[in-house]
Structure 1
Amino acid sequence: MNALLFIVCVIIWGSTWIGITFQVGHVEPVVAVAWRFSIAVVCIGLWMLATRRSFRMPAHMHVKALSVGLILYTLDYSFLYAAQQYIVSALLAVLSSSVIYFTVLFRRVFLNKPLRREVLVGATLGLLGIVLIFSPEFTQMTAQQGLVLGLLFALVSFVSAAIGNILSENMLDEGVPVMQMNFYAMGYGLFFMYGYGFMSGASFTYPDHLEFTLALLYLALFGSVLAFGAYMKLLQRIGSDKSTYVVLVYPIVALGLSTLFEGYQWTLAAVFGVILVLIGNAIAMGKLNRQLKIS
């Protein structure tokens, strides 16, 4: 089950980068995110009604769900979309690995859970692999206008993702069902998204582009409803530190799609990088602990 949940997250989130590229530039990032999660919340709510799941949740859990909605869904995704306007995908993919380190640290500080050495070792190998995979693109990079702003947006996004992971793990540890948590967290997040959008004067005019609509539906139904459902279930089963390793594996899926549709040319360094990522994943998930005497 853990492997299946991990694979679902990797495959879907490895393909959502295509959808995001069809949205960036058409509307403000916070508007695109708001529409995406609006569809997701409606779908989750309808599913809960159809399966007769309870909507009841203790009052103190609503406070935590509100925090998850603000931090994980609003800040993380709004700043991630904004960062993609200034940073090339290669750099963003490498920087995203920092989520693992932030998560491990915050998990220790806020939840008083142990630092799992295998996760740190696996994440470091994975990071080296990602650098090797995207190294050809770094040689072509030049100083971009707004690069510093993009880096700042990315940092806020990744720190928000790590804190959101910790808050979500805490809620799940206390017995809140995954569907219920996602429904309320995403729903509360919409208040912040739409509130900021209206106050900032963002345009809510819907783009007249079929590809935008198709991308929006894919991101909402697969990227938010299905993938986040699987991710939260995985987080509940193995912890936020191990679950976060998804961010190092799904760029491989993105490269595979780029090979099929954009003619990406593989190099020896990229192949070795993929091998490092996979070995790092095996270590992080505890598959090689006995052989390497990590734990």
Structure 2
Amino acid sequence: MLNSNVFLFSTCVLIWGSTWIAITFQTGETPVMVSVALRFAIAAVLLGIWCKIRSISLRIAPGQHKYLFAAGVFLYCMDYSFLYAAEQHMISALLAVLSSSVIYFNVVLRRIILGKAIRLEVIIGATIGLLGIALIFAPEFEKMSLTEGISLGLLFATASFLSAAFGNITSERILDRQTGVIPMNFWAMSYGVACTSLIALFSGMEFSLPDQPSYYYSLVYLSVFGSVLAFGSYMKLLKQIGSDKAAYVVLVYPVVALIISTFFEAYLWTQYSIVGVVFVIIGNAVAMGKANRLLSRWTD
């Protein structure tokens, strides 16, 4: 189980650490919600084909569909629509730091909605990790200018992370009922696509697509890797360790994004960023309960 969790966690971190760059190619000419709908429509179709090939049943108990609809709206409609919009109004460094709030939202909502205990190690680990992320991106904040758009960006970001938290808690509830991860994602993504498309349609958005090949390359990558593989791994991880611990992924994948940036964008590491990475690693150990086990081994 431990090895499985490590593999699932690593898959999410490595893939989502690279999707930050891919998302930047999705904003611009095409309306945000159209890009989101296309991304998850492709992912849902791929999941449906996979289920057909592997003879995986997509039948879900009728009573579960209202929760699948909620998960789809929160995770695959509102979360990413707001996230894409936020990226148009603020630097990715600030967005990466703010994304850590998902963990705190998850902890509180998990207690209120699911009645599950608040795990102190998750709170402490998340706080240590948040400090690490702040140190890593400290130089970027010096370049940030407070424009009118930043307020709108903060609003979009907060809405995105709150939506993600509600989606995570709803997903955990569905998975607690022994629903399969792949059928759950198929239905949730399908509901999310339907909701996003309807909002875009009734809002008068044009379903126009750009001419740049980079848009389509990034769309395929986000659909296959960022949605099918990463979300499949994340939901499996959420099922096994809970939405509070699984959410720590959001504090680790910005580090992967920086490593990628080192090779492709000549990112220069500083003392702050190195110390920040150490804090993120320590925070992860605390949140996952590994710190206590290591300490007990030392003292034995």
Q: Distance in 1 between matches of 2:208 and 2:92?
A: 27
Deviation (angstroms), 1:70: 0.7
Match of 1:12 among 10, 15, 20: 15
Give aligned pairs, total. Answer: 293
Q: Deviations over 1:224-262 (max 9, x none)?
A: 000000000000000000000000000000000000000
Q: Distance in 2 between matches of 1:290 and 1:243?
A: 19
Q: Deviations over 1:103-124 (max 9, x none)?
A: 0000000001010000000000
Deviation (angstroms), 1:26: 2.5
Q: Deviations over 1:161-213 (max 9, x none)?
A: 01100000000000100000000000011111100111111111121111100
Match of 1:235 among 238, 258, 262: 238
Match of 1:159 in 2: 162
Match of 1:273 in 2: 276
Residue 117, structure 1, aligned to residue 120, structure 2: yes
Residue identity opposite 1:218 in structure 2: Y
Residue 284, structure 1, aligned to residue 287, structure 2: yes
Match of 1:261 in 2: 264
Q: Distance in 2 between matches of 1:54 and 1:97?
A: 35
The residue correspondences of 1:19-168 to structure 2 (distance < 5 A) are 19-168=22-171
Question: For structure 1, which runs of at least 5 residues remain unmatched after alignment?
Answer: none
Residue identity opposite 1:136 in structure 2: P
Q: Distance in 2 between matches of 1:249 and 1:106?
A: 22
Residue identity opposite 2:204 in structure 1: G
Residue 2, structure 1, aligned to residue 5, structure 2: yes
Would you say the 8 A contact 1:86–1:144 is kept in 2? no
Match of 1:190 in 2: 193
Residue identity opposite 1:187 in structure 2: S
SS at match of 2:266: coil
Residue identity opposite 2:142 in structure 1: T
Deviation (angstroms), 1:142: 1.1
The residue correspondences of 1:179-258 to structure 2 (distance < 5 A) are 179-258=182-261
Residue identity opposite 1:184 in structure 2: W
SS at match of 2:148: coil
Q: Distance in 2 between matches of 1:133 and 1:33?
A: 29
Structure 1 residue runs of 4+, over 3 Å off?
A: 290-293
Q: Deviations over 1:125-168 (max 9, x none)?
A: 00000000000011111112311111011001000001100000
TM-score where L is the length of structure 1? 0.98
Q: Distance in 2 between matches of 1:42 and 1:268?
A: 45
Identity across matched positions, percent: 56
Q: Distance in 1 between matches of 2:47 and 2:292?
A: 38
Deviation (angstroms), 1:290: 4.1
Match of 1:169 in 2: 172
Q: Distance in 2 between matches of 1:50 and 1:291?
A: 44
Question: For structure 2, which runs of at least 5 residues remain unmatched after alignment?
Answer: none
Would you say the 8 A contact 1:86–1:145 is kept in 2? no
Q: Distance in 1 between matches of 2:38 and 2:294?
A: 47
CA gap of 1:144–1:292, structure 2 versus 1, over 3 A, is: farther
Q: Distance in 2 between matches of 1:114 and 1:55?
A: 32
RMSD: 0.9
